[in-house]
């Protein structure tokens, strides 16, 4: 099978599309013929070695942590799926999504809605589930709450704006002027151009500040929160864990961080709204697998509108 492989951590020069032995599923796994794979900032951060304490030093590795495709083989213990099922696979630090085949645990596979393409489906797991869990579980979003989405035109941000509006929240999106139209079309009540205005200094107060790009700290955002507001970022670090601990000791403003989950209920919730058209996937570019370096380069620019996807077949 063809796969995007790297033998050491580093820049784009360490990866290449090469032939690897075709996988066989373990007893609790399904083997997926990959149709499309999502490209995320976490992918090039893994390639660079920023998560090496989780991904380890054993090489070669196949890049990629989310995909969509068709099950071609099931392990001996599999009961929920059969060959021919179209599925979405959520993120796993075992990697392996940038390939013609990938083996994943049954718990990491979910039926794909018929109404969306494989390319759209591959863009859902990390961005969609991160946005949903952050706003619903960490932010306890509800109608009328004032929500600010920093990075509103990105992969997580485009889902977050739409999800916040599903809850009838009052939504402010922060992005570049060039992406303001997209963010408004997704439902944002107002848009702030981050190049022209600092949202922490406008005097506005928000019940939830969701920093999808983790470019502002809790201390910077604290004054822009309401008395019981919550700041949520997407980059676990020592500083945010200290903020979480410190704010847990007293009532008032809180800090939180989010890592993508893998609960079936969360994916069912997202897919249900995608089926009804209340949510939509925003795809910026679709690259063939052979152009993975171009896809990662574009992701690293920080100018992606929605998601980037690799088309495998």
DSSP string of 241-298? HHHHHHHHSSSS-EEEE------HHHHHHHHHHHHHTSS---EEEEEEGGGHHHHHHH
Report the chain (313 residues): mean pLDDT per 10 consecutive residues.
Answer: 96 96 94 96 90 87 96 96 96 83 94 96 94 96 98 97 98 97 98 97 97 94 98 90 95 92 88 94 97 96 95 94
Instruction: Note the pLDDT of residue 263.
Output: 87
DSSP state of 178: G
Q: What is the pLDDT of residue 92?
A: 65
Selection from 263, 253, 230, 272 nearest residue 133 by Cα? 263
> 32 forms bridges with which residues in the sheet?
71, 102
- Write the burial class of residue 143 (CB in 10 Å: 0-12 exposed, 13-18 middle, 19+ buried): exposed
pLDDT for 124: 95
Q: What is the pLDDT of residue 91?
A: 67
CA dist 191 and 186 (Å) reads 11
Q: What are the Cα distances from residue 7, in Å, to 10, 59, 61, 66, 292?
A: 9, 5, 7, 20, 16
Tokens standing for residue 162: 């739409």
pTM confidence score: 0.93
Instruction: Say what the pLDDT of residue 167 is.
Output: 97
pLDDT at 238: 87
2-124+281-311 fold: Quinone Oxidoreductase; Chain A, domain 1 (3.90.180)
Sequence-separated (6 or more) residues with CB below 8 Å from residue 40: 65, 66, 126, 127, 155, 299
Alpha-carbon distance of 160 to 204, in angstroms, equals: 20
- pLDDT confidence of residue 93: 63
Q: What one-character-per-residue DSSP string does 11-22 give?
A: SGGGEEEEE-PP
The pair of three-digit structure tokens given for residue 157, joined into one six-digit string: 């941000």
Spans of all domains in the chain: 2-124+281-311, 128-257
Fold of 128-257: Rossmann fold (3.40.50)
- Which residues, listed in sequence order, are joined to residue 172 by a DSSP beta bridge? 148, 190
Distance, in Å, from the CA atom of 211 to the CA atom of 149, rounded to the nearest integer, reads 6
């Amino acid at each position: 099978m063809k796969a995007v492989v790297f033998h050491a951590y580093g820049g784009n020069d360490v990866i290449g599309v090469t032939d690897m032995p075709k996988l066989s599923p373990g007893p609790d796994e399904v083997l997926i013929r990959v149709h499309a794979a999502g490209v995320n900032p976490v992918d090039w951060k893994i390639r660079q070695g920023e998560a090496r304490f989780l991904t380890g030093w054993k090489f070669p590795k196949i890049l990629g942590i989310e995909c969509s495709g068709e099950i071609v083989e099931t392990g001996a213990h599999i009961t929920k799926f059969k060959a021919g099922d179209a599925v979405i696979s959520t993120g796993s630090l075992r990697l392996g999504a940038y390939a013609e085949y990938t083996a994943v645990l049954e718990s990491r596979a979910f039926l794909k809605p018929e109404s969306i393409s494989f390319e759209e489906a591959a863009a859902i797991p990390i961005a969609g589930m991160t946005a949903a869990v952050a706003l619903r579980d960490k932010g306890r979003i509800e109608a009328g709450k004032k929500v600010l989405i920093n990075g509103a035109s990105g992969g997580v941000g485009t889902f977050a704006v739409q999800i916040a509006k599903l809850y009838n929240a009052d939504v402010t999106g922060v992005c570049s002027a060039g992406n303001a139209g997209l963010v408004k079309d997704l439902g944002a009540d107002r848009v702030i151009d981050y190049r022209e205005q600092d949202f922490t200094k406008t005097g506005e107060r928000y019940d939830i500040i969701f920093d999808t790009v983790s470019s502002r700290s809790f201390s910077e955002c604290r004054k822009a929160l309401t008395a019981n507001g919550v700041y949520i970022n997407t980059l676990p670090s020592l500083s945010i864990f200290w903020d979480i601990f410190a704010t847990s000791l007293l009532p008032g403003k809180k800090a939180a961080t989010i890592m993508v989950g893998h609960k079936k209920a969360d994916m069912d919730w997202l897919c249900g709204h995608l089926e009804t058209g209340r949510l939509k996937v925003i795809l910026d570019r679709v690259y063939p697998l052979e152009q993975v370096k171009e896809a990662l380069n574009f992701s690293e620019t920080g100018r992606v509108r929605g998601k980037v996807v690799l088309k495998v077949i």
